[in-house]
Structure 1
C-alpha cells in the first residue's frame, strides 16, 4: 500500500476519478447486476408469489367459481377464453415489482454504492429490467403448465404459443416503464405498489380478460375497446386459440410504442435525478 506524506508548502496529489467505462462493457455489467437481482430473489422466494401462486389462484378461482355462470355451465369453454386473458393481466400486474424493487434499493442506499463503482450509470436500471424478464418467463410457464393440467388446449400449435409469449413479454417490458417511473418518484416502496395498483386494476378488470366486450354496458365498452390490455389479451387469445389477430397485434404494437415514447424518457430522467 502506497502512503502519501504531506510536505510543507506542497499540495497533496488528488486521486484521479474512475474513467468512464466503455460502451461495450454495459451489457456485461447489466447482466452481472441482473444476476445479483435474481440471486436476491432466489434467497427470498416469497418475492415470486406474484408470478407463481397468484396466477394459479386466479386461474382456478375464476374458472371454477365464475366459469359456470359466465359461460353458461361450461367451465372448460370458459377456461379456453380465460387463460390467454389472464396472461395479459398477470404480466401487467407483475411489472409492479420492478419499480418497487428499484425504490427499495434506493431507500437502502444500494445505488449510492453503485455510484462509487466504475460502471455505467444505466447498468443498474438495465440489469433490473433484464432480471424482470426471468420473472415474466416464470409466470408464463406456470400459467401454461397449470392451464394445460386443467384442460386448456392450444389450437394453433407451438408457433402460436411462442408468438403469444414474444408479444406479451414485449408488452410487459414496455408497460414496465410506468412502474420504473413511479418507483423513481415515489417516496416509499409501499407507495409504489399503491400507485401502480390504481393504474393496473382498472386496466386489467376493465378489459376483455374475463368477459366478452359485447356483454358490457355501452359506456364501458368504449373504454374497453381502447384499453391496451384488451388489445394484448385479444392478440394472445387469437394466437393461442385461433381467430383474427391482425388488428389486436397492430394496436398492441402501437400501444407499446406509445408507452416507450412517453414513459421511458420520464423514467430515465427521474432515475438520473434519484439515482
Structure 2
C-alpha cells in the first residue's frame, strides 16, 4: 500500500489557512480532553475562586490598602493577574507530558502545518484563561467588587490580562519542550509560587523591606495587577517609583519582552525536538 502524503501549500495565504485549520484541529483535541475529563477543568476553576475567597474573607479583615479603599477591590485585580501567571503550570505540564509520551513527535510526523501544535496549544490555553477570568469575575462581583471606569477601561484591563497569559504561554511551551521530567514539573510549581506572592497581588510593596519591595515592584505580575487596578478604577498601592507611576506602559512592555525572548525559543525547541 502506498501512503498518500499531502504536499504543503505554496502560497502564503494557503499556508496561513493550512496552519489555522491544523491549529484548530489540535485545539479541538484539547477541548475533547476537557469534555472527557471535566473534573480537571472544574478543579482548576475552583482553585482560583478558592484563593480569591480565602484571601478576601479569611485574611481581608487584617489587610489595609495604602491611601484607603476596600481591600477586596484591591485584591480582585491582583488575583486576576496571579491566575494568568500561574497558568504557565498548565501549559508547561501539557507540553512536557505530550513530549515525554511521544505525542509531539507523532504530530511532527504527520502532514500538518509545523506551527499547528504550538498554535493549538496557545488557543486552548487562552480559552481556559477566559473561562478562569469569567469565574473569578463572577466570584468578585459576588464579593462586592466592581469596576468604576466604564466598559472601555474594563476591556483594556482584560486585554492586558490575556496579553500576560499569552507571554506566559510562550514561556510554558519553551520550558515544557526543554524540561520533560516529572521532577521538572514539580520544580516549576515550587518556583512559580514565590514569583506570584513576591508581587503586589495581595499586599502593597510598601509594606515589604526595601530591597524586597523593589523586586516586587518590577515583577511582571505586579505591573499587570497595578495597571488593571488603575483601569478598573480600584484602589492601588501608590508609591513614587517608576513602576508605580507607569503601570500600564510596564504591563505592555513586560509581556512584549517575554514574548520576544521565549516565542522564538519555543518555536526553535519544537523544531529541534527530535534532532
Query: Is TM > 0.5 for Structure 1 vs Structure 2?
Result: yes
Matched, 1:196 2:192: no
Instruction: State the distance in 2 between where 1:175 and 1:246 align.
Output: 24
Q: Which structure's CA Rg is the greater one?
A: 1
1:150-229 alignment to 2 at 5 Å?
Answer: 150-188=143-181, 190-229=182-221
| Segment drifting more, 211-220 vs 115-124 | 115-124
Do the aligned partners of 1:179 and 1:196 also contact (CA within 8 Å) in 2? no
Residue 19 (1) aligns with residue 7 (2): yes
Report deviation, 1:46.
2.7
8 Å contact kept, 1:97–1:193: no
1:57-91 deviation per Cα after TM superposition (whole angstroms, max 9, x unaligned): 1111111111111139xxx9211110000000011
- CA offsets 1:131-168 (integer angstroms, 9 cap, x no match): 11110000110000011011112111222221111110
1:243 & 1:81 partners in 2: Cα distance? 6
| 1:80-119 alignment runs, 5 A limit | 80-119=73-112
* Pairwise CA distance, 1:111: 2.3
Q: Distance in 1 between matches of 2:163 and 2:24?
A: 19
Match of 1:142 in 2: 135
Q: Which residue of 2 aligns with 1:270?
A: 269
TM-score by length of 1: 0.86
> What is residue 123 of structure 1 aligned with on the other side?
116
Listed as ranges, the gaps of 5+ residues in structure 1 are: 4-13
- Note the residue ranges of structure 2 that are not aligned, 5 or more in a row: 237-243
Between the aligned partners of 2:33 and 2:135, the Cα distance in structure 1 is 21
User: Is the aligned partner of 1:254 residue 2:246?
Assistant: no
Deviation at 1:49, TM superposition (A): 4.3
Per-residue displacement from partner, 1:1-46 (whole Å, max 9, x unpaired)?
xx6xxxxxxxxxx978542244131111111211111111221123
Aligned to 1:11: none
Residue 211 of structure 1: SS of its match in structure 2? coil
Q: In the TM superposition, what is the alpha-carbon distance from 1:242 to its structure 2 partner?
A: 4.7
TM-score norm. by structure 2 comes to: 0.86
How far apart, in 2, do the equivalents of 1:15 and 1:201 lie?
A: 49
Bigger drift between 221-230 and 79-88 goes to 221-230
Question: What's the offset of the Cα at 1:243?
Answer: 7.0
1:88-126 per-residue CA deviation (whole Å, 9 max, x = no partner) reads: 001110221112111212222222332332211221111
Paired residue total:
259
**Counterparts of 1:218 and 1:94, CA distance in 2:** 29
**1:79 & 1:47 partners in 2: Cα distance?**
28
1-side partners of 2:20 and 2:141: how far apart?
A: 36
Indicate conservation of the 8 Å contact 1:100/1:192, yes or no.
no
